[in-house]
A and B are shown apart, each in its own frame.
Chain A
Amino acid sequence: MSTTVPNPQSIPGTNASAVSRRWRGITSTGFSRVLGVATLVLVVWLVLFGLLFSPPDQTQQSSVRIMYIHVPTAWVAYLAFGVTGLSSAMYLFRRAHSLAWDRVAGASAEIGVMFMALTLITGSLWGRLTWGVYWAWDARLTTTAFLFVTYVGYLAVRRLGGSHQARAKRSAVLGLLAVIEIPLVHFSVELWRSLHQEASVANPSGDVKMDGLMLFSLFVGLIAFSLLYFWLVLHRQRAMYLEDQYDDADLDVALVERRAETKEHSRA
């Protein structure tokens, strides 16, 4: 049923000259370059603090260092999926139905899936060292795994084809459904069982149970990974914009060629 023919009229500001004026085929701007450099500096800083300066844990020894990656990746994944949900809502409920929101949603989901995979991998490595098993059927772990699978599905839906607007609407609906699905999954698994280590920083009582330097390293990690996320989203959604342009341009070129052919035929 679905066709791969996009409708150029439905996309605002999509003439070829606008593209070349703005980005000339690359996705960086002055701002994103500064952001990239800042991210790089912070990542180096995180490596130094995480691996060298911060002390080992009394009970967990050096395996505690996994936390400096595990917690920030989890945070970024949740942030990314939150942004996807928000952008999906913006696309769907704004009258303009701007594809820019759709691309932000898609870019954010891709990056979220990547970071969620990193969270699961680092978490299971840490689990093997601390609990003795790679995986435990704990509420938070299970919810995270479901979050991962749900957004893998979301990305699959984005690749279904059809016009850009069709893709945007379908995935926006799915992005919002995911937002209501996850609390339900979490609630049901929570009822089922719970084992995960209690949150050490964001616990309700408000007192932080952690060495100062460890806490500092953790915050460096959170900031570094957040910047990395923004840098990646900026680039990815611009790359997606170019991909969409390319699709549309392809159609235009094909149309011009066919027209030229028919002219030649009629002359001959």
Chain B
Amino acid sequence: MWRTARLVAAKDLGIEWRSRQVTNQVLPFAGLTLVLFAFALDRDEITARVAPGLFWLATTFSLIVLVQRTFAVETADGALDTLRVAGVDPAGIYLGKALALAAQLVVLEALLLVGVIVFYASHIRPAGIVLVIVTAFLATSGLAFVGTLYGGLAAGAKGRETLLPLLLLPVVAPVLIGATRAFEAAFGTRGGEGIRAGVEISDGWPWVGMLAIFAAVFGAAGVLAFGPLLEEA
């Protein structure tokens, strides 16, 4: 299973390395959303305050585009059917595709983080760096697992472009909430007023626990469910 996963992930990343579709299209799209958020929200103090939320919104939107792309590669020439006929372990395919998706998300998030710091004048508290890294790791795992699972579900179906956001966005809501709250703690935003005046770094860690549960549950569900999903596609 793990060998298959490694091979599938290497294949996906290899395709991306040659086509540069994500680099040339998805990354600029994510950056563009950050700029558009700034237009919509207008005021500097507001964007600085909601920067963690905008970061994860931009990531979530990009996730949809990335998932479309990762399954467009498989369904275009019936590649998925070929893999199935060749008797490749579906769990391995699932993990491999999730791994490749996670790798792309990590690159995207690193650039978005720079974008948030540059455009929204956010700064990470030195003590919050560990929290940011752990949160990003777990949230990315969760997003990649869910994205691959629902991407596989919608793959090959008519109207999948419009269906995927409808299926995916409600499911990733916990990640959006949890990762945003954890980032707020690490950034030290939301200080001054409101119900959560002056967040501490330690306020972020319960959310990290929730993100871990989310990633574990959907990772397990994906390994189990991907086989039956491929059979019928």
Contact = CB atoms under 8 A, between A and B. Distances in A.
State whether these chains interact.
yes
Interface residues of A, number: 31
B153 A173 contact: yes
Interface in A151-198: 152-153, 156-157, 160-162, 165-166, 169-170, 173-174, 176-177, 180-181, 184-185, 187-189, 191-193
A250 B147 CA distance: 37
B177 A192 contact: yes
Main secondary structure of the interface of A (DSSP, over half): helix
B82 to A, nearest CB: 13
B210 A160 contact: no
Given A152-B166, A156-B163, A191 B232 contact: no
A142 to B, nearest CB: 9
A103 B145 CA distance: 29
B27 interface: no
Given A177-B221, A184-B174, A184-B214, A1 B163 contact: no
Contacts of A165: 232
B228 A92 contact: yes
A160 B225 contact: no
B231 interface: yes
A1 B75 contact: yes
A191 B163 CA distance: 29
Interface string A1-42: 110000000000000000000000000000000000000000
B170 A185 contact: yes
Main secondary structure of the interface of B (DSSP, over half): helix
Interface residues of B, number: 34
A149 interface: yes
Contacts of A150: 170-171
A146 interface: yes
Nearest to B175: A188
Nearest to A161: B158
Contacts of B174: 184-185, 187-188
Given A2-B157, A173-B153, A180 B217 contact: yes
Nearest to A142: B173
B159 interface: yes
B233 interface: yes
A166 B230 CA distance: 10
Given A153-B167, A160-B163, A191-B206, A185 B233 contact: no
A1 B156 CA distance: 6
Given A146-B170, A191-B210, A2 B229 contact: no
A188 B157 CA distance: 31
B78 interface: yes
B173 A146 contact: yes
A27 to B, nearest CB: 28
A192 B181 CA distance: 9
B213 interface: yes
Given A174-B153, A177-B221, A184-B217, A169 B170 contact: no
Contacts of B170: 146, 149-150, 153, 181, 185
B183 interface: no
Interface string B55-88: 0000000000000000000010010000000000
B94 interface: no
Contacts of A193: 195
Contacts of A189: 177
A187 B171 CA distance: 13
Contacts of B163: 153, 156-157, 160
A96 to B, nearest CB: 15
Contact of B229 (A156, A170, A187): A170
B206 to A, nearest CB: 7
B151 interface: no
A180 to B, nearest CB: 6
Interface of B: 75, 78, 149, 153-154, 156-159, 163, 166-167, 170-171, 173-174, 177-178, 181, 195, 206-207, 210, 213-214, 217-218, 221, 225, 228-229, 231-233
25 contacts: A2-B157, A146-B170, A149-B166, A150-B171, A153-B170, A156-B167, A157-B153, A160-B163, A161-B158, A162-B157, A170-B153, A173-B153, A174-B153, A180-B221, A184-B174, A184-B217, A187-B174, A187-B210, A188-B174, A188-B178, A188-B210, A191-B178, A191-B206, A192-B177, A193-B195
